[in-house]
Structure formats: C-alpha cells, structure tokens
Structure 1
C-alpha cells in the first residue's frame, strides 16, 4: 500500500497548486522588466525602441526594433559625422577593415535596445546615461583588435583628452601616433580602455547567450535579446543590486492578484525547498518573475 503524504506536505502541495493556478490566470498581465527593450537617455537615442523603415548599411540589423533613426544610422558611417564631430582619421586614414568595427560599435551603441542591464547614470552635458562593462563576445574583441592592430592612434581613451580647438578631435599637443598594437597590446585592452570601460572583454563565445555581439545576421534573429534577458534577471537577483532590484520586485508584487499574495508566504513556509532565491525553483516557476 502506497504511503500517504503527511498532512503538512499535503497542505503545502495544495497551496502551491492554488498559487500556480492563480499565477496562470494572471499571466495575461505580464510584468515588464525595466532593464529590457529600452533606449538609454543619450544625445541621439529615441525615447523608446521601435521599427525603422530602413537603417543604413551596418546598422540595418536593428531595423525591426531600434533606438536609432535612419539619419543617425547614416551619420554613423561617415568619416566625420554630425553625431559627435569625431574624426576616425586623426592619425592618418584609418584602414577600411578597421573602420568597419568602429562603425559597427557605433551602430550597437546608437541602435541596440538590448543594453539595459549595463546602462549607468552619468552627469554629462550631452547625455544622462551611458553603458558600462557590456560583456562583448571574445570573437568581437579579437577581430576588432586583429583588423586594427596596424592602424594608428595617439590615445588610449577616446572618450576624453582630445584637442577640440578646431571643433573636431585632434591629438593632444605632444602626443605621438603609434600602432594600435602598441597602444592596446591585447584585444582586452582595446575593448575595455578605448571607451572608458563601456565594454568588458568576455571569455564567452558568440552564440553562448552570455555575451553581446556587435555582429549578427538579422535573418537568424537578434542574439542579444536573450543575453540582455539573462543579465537583467541576474542583476535583479544579485545581492549587490538589492536597492536597484527592489522597485522591480515591488512592481512584480503589485501585479500579482491579492489571493496569490495571501498564499505566497504560506507556500514559502511550507515548501522551503521550493524557495530557491532568485533561481528556478523545482516547480519550474522563476521566483524572480513572480
């Protein structure tokens, strides 16, 4: 004869089942993670991502859902565009194979709606937000460095320290033009230093779901959507992000029906093994998503 579950376990199972039913009924009102599908508050970004009829050349992969306009995408391809009056050719003409990486970098920055987990507040005259420590895929950093190692530059950090006396960036007085391979000895140095740690060199590979790609085939879908989703929930659940995560948890709690909220404490008391922090509990429902 099969052993009957204990009364405590039976009650726990009933509460958990009721909670799941209530959550399923409320699924028609999904909770939006504020770190996903957003545009940063910067000089040329749209307020919200959305489709664009046509984006220029290397920015075209984002045309279905972009934070940039068609005009911004076109300007991103110019040697000295009106976006920031920045001149790629400050140490002679930059080789095309190198320049294409900087254009793609600009397209990612201006157009991607998948950089939310790495948006950071700044006090600047031209933007209120920037990206910080975006994990760029190993291949992207290494190909960037390989194609630019023989190009010339006079600065390690391109965000600041230029001579802007003529209205465009020129090398600071006394600086020397040197090969990228001397200024940036490793791919990691290039990715992390050139834009004040906007990027972080990731050991993860393209397609891993754990790093952002500058290059992707839109016909295969945007792989950065899944990457942003992974890091958004990781950031929400990280103890170090407790204060930032609290508003998101509150928003999620407000979206639950009152009956589910009443049952949730009891379910967690009766089923401690189910409460797996911010991970995926055994019943298969992400606690962070509740």
Structure 2
C-alpha cells in the first residue's frame, strides 16, 4: 500500500513538473483539453483545466461571488481591479501550466508561481483605491454558511499592501512570487506560452534569453574588411 501511495504522489509531482496535468482541485479537470463555449478565461480555451460553465461566473461585471466566495464584502471591485482578479483566478482554475507549481503537500494549491514585476505593479495600481478587509484572501476570512466574512474593517488596498510586490506575495499566500527576469515570469495572458517554455527549459541570458525574449542584442562594432583595415593602418602611420 505504501508503495502505491508513493507512486501516486510521484505521478502527481511528475505531472506538475512537466506542466501537462491539472491541479487537483474540486473543479479542475483531470487533464487539460480544448473547451468550447468559455465566456471568460478564453486564453486557455485550447487546453483548459476548467469547464466552460465555471467561466460563466466571471463573464459579467461586477463579479459578486464565485462558488459562494464573495468578492464584494467591501463593495464591488472596480472594473480594472476586477480584471486582475479574474486573470489570477483563470490561471489557477484553467491554465494547463499551473500544475508546474503544484504544492507538494496540497495538490489543489499553487506555490511560488513567478509573476512578472510589471504584472504585480499593474495589479496594485489597478486596485489601490479599492477596499479589502483581509490581506490573505485564502485564509484570513471567517467562513460560515453564507460564505466568506470580514474579520476586520475595510481599508484601501494601498493601506493593506505596501506595493505591487507585497500584493503578489500576500493576497494568495505563498501561491505567487515576484520574478525580476522578464523571460522567467508570467503575465497571465497569451505571452505566457513563450515564458513557460523559458522557465521549463531553464533558458538563461547567457544562453540567448535576450534574443529569445524579443529584446535586441547589444550593438557590436562591425569588423573592417581587409582592405579597409590596411588603409586605416596606413593612415595611423
């Protein structure tokens, strides 16, 4: 029995490491597959870990609740802030790459997904004037039959979180981290396909990351032709 359990754990970890499976949450598919009729999270429709009916909860604005989990305990979120919340939830629920960061002790959870600094700063700027009553949206609520409830008073995001880095590292617990590499980080949009390739393959700046990421390599001086080099030497003499 112990051997079977060990094999099962290894199988889950292998799927996560390869990014070919899905997280093991209650609403996740067992494996990513094309999904028609998605009304949100459509960036993942070609290989989705969520069913189309899940996305119906995110299709309209303002989003009030997702699976009895309320987003408006301090009032409706602004459309800009809500858009970032949707991106984060869509990644967690629907992305075929999320399992690469599957938590080793809880297969329904993420751990240390590398978000781009630009994404975190944009998220903070979009939500800074919105209100929240909890820092960690996964654990800091009081939960009862009516869903998640505030324990403390509502304050602006700009008071709850110091900056974009703090927001990314705090709102979903240890689910996300902030990467300083423009190649080895996610923006939670279509550009993540290339970024995920760099992350999995471990592409570094030394091995051509700058060119692969679309940044032009540093300009180099052209080597003079033989005749030109000779003329330059004669002029120096």
After TM superposition, the score normalised by the length of structure 1 is: 0.60
Q: For 1:1-290, what aligned pairs fall within 5 Å after superposition?
A: 35-57=18-40, 59-77=41-59, 78-82=63-67, 85-123=68-106, 128-172=107-151, 175-205=152-182, 208=183, 210-216=184-190, 223-234=191-202
Q: CA deviation at 1:233?
A: 4.5
Pair 161,47 (structure 1): closer, same or farther in 2 beyond 3 Å: same
The Cα of 1:33 is off from its aligned counterpart by 9.1
* Aligned position for 2:5: none
- Deviation at residue 100 of structure 1 after TM alignment: 1.2
Q: Distance in 2 between matches of 1:122 and 1:96?
A: 35
Unaligned 5+ runs, structure 1: 1-31, 217-222, 235-279, 281-290
Structure 2 contact 16–100 (Cα < 8 Å) conserved = no
Counterparts of 1:40 and 1:188 in 2: how far apart (Å)? Answer: 25
Tell me if structure 2 keeps the 8 A contact 1:122–1:129. Answer: no
Q: What is the distance in 1 between the residues matched to 2:48 and 2:104?
A: 21
CA–CA distance in structure 2, aligned partners of residues 232 and 33 of structure 1 = 11
**Larger relative contact order (Cα-Cα within 8 Å, sequence gap ≥ 6):** 1
String of CA shifts for 1:180-234, please: whole Å, max 9, x gaps: 00100110011110011211112233xx3x1112133xxxxxx323433433355
- Equivalent-residue separation in structure 1 for 2:19 and 2:189 (angstroms): 20
Distance (whole Å) between structure 2 residues aligned to residue 88 and residue 203 of structure 1: 30
Q: Structure 2: state its 5+ residue gaps.
A: 1-14, 208-237
Greater strand share, 1 or 2? Answer: 2
